[in-house]
Amino acid sequence: MTLPIAVLVSGSGSNLQALIERVESGALDARIALVLSNKPEALALERARACGIKAVALPHADYPDRAAFDAAMVAAIRQSGAEAVVMAGFMRLLTPVFIHAFPGRIINIHPALLPSFAGAHGQRDAANYGVAISGATVHFVDEIMDHGPVVIQAAVPAYPDDDAASLGERILAMEHRILPQAVQWLATGRLSIEGRKVRLRDAGLPKAVVEGALVNPPLEQGF
């Protein structure tokens, strides 16, 4: 069972690259049917094309409003055959038009431990706050930004000398682990959503620290 997915991107695409590598390694039971960006210049689109993956840019400025833009994205995703949507650095808010098109099938990676530091600058806000622990979250997408039920989180240490870049780099390394892991659980039907809670079937117990990070539910073989 290989889950066809669409990956939404706006930037450099390192999370997309992590997904591509896990598909190529055979760890991830998914197929990237489409990479979609609102930014034609996104490096992520080049990464997709370099791997022979269909990559499409839909500039949001070409549409009269968010709902029209989302409808165009939904149409492109439907045409690709994707059955789930992974937001990997996609920097646009999705409207109910989009969210209702893929109920319980849209996940997002956020570079902070939600609900702390939601919004577009999670790494910077956590570093400026002076936290001792930050991290990354994969969550299901609902109609409120960075709010949906949490699938997996990874916690990393933060230091007084950290800035957005140094903390962001430490977080990004764990994003590249937990996003593919979350997609694998979605692809293998092991996730169920119960209100605000996400239950992972046959979850193991959190192991000790993984390369300086605590991950829960724990990463599995290949992730």
Active site residues: 110
**Strands of 170-213, DSSP E:** 191-194, 197-200
Q: Name which of residues 140 to 199 contact ligand GRF (CB under 6 A).
A: 172, 175
Among 43, 101, 32, 109, which Cα is nearest to 72's? Answer: 101
Nearer CB in complex with ligand GRF: 137/184: 137
Using CB under 6 A as the binding rule, whether residue 134 contacts ligand GRF is answered as no
Given 4, 14, 83, 118, the residue binding ligand GRF (CB under 6 A):
14
CA pair distance 82, 23, nearest whole angstrom? 15
CB within 8 A of 61, min separation 6: which ones? none
Q: Min. distance of Cβ 205 from ligand GRF in angstroms?
A: 26
Site string for ligand GRF, 66-95 (x = CB under 6 A): ----------------------xx------
Contact region for ligand GRF (CB under 6 A) — 4-12, 31-39, 69-77, 200-208?
4-12
- Decide if 54 contacts 45 (C-beta within 8 A): no
**Mask for 19-58, x = binds ligand GRF (CB under 6 A):** -------------------------x--------------
**3-state SS string over 99-125?**
HCCCCCCEEEEECCCCCCCCCCCHHHH
The residue range among 33-41, 66-74, 106-114, 158-166 that interacts with ligand GRF, by the rule CB under 6 A, is 106-114
Residue 184 host element (H or E): helix 164-187
Region binding ligand GRF by CB under 6 A among candidate stretches 8-16, 95-103, 155-163, 200-208 = 8-16
Sequence-distant (≥ 6) Cβ neighbours of residue 52 within 8 angstroms: none
* In the block, residue with structure tokens 């055959």: 81
Which residue number, 116 or 203, has a Cβ lying nearer to ligand GRF?
116
Residues touching ligand GRF, count (CB under 6 A): 14
Counting Cα atoms < 13 Å in the Cβ hemisphere of 187 gives: 24
Residues near ligand GRF, by CB under 6 A: 9, 11-15, 44, 88-89, 109-111, 172, 175
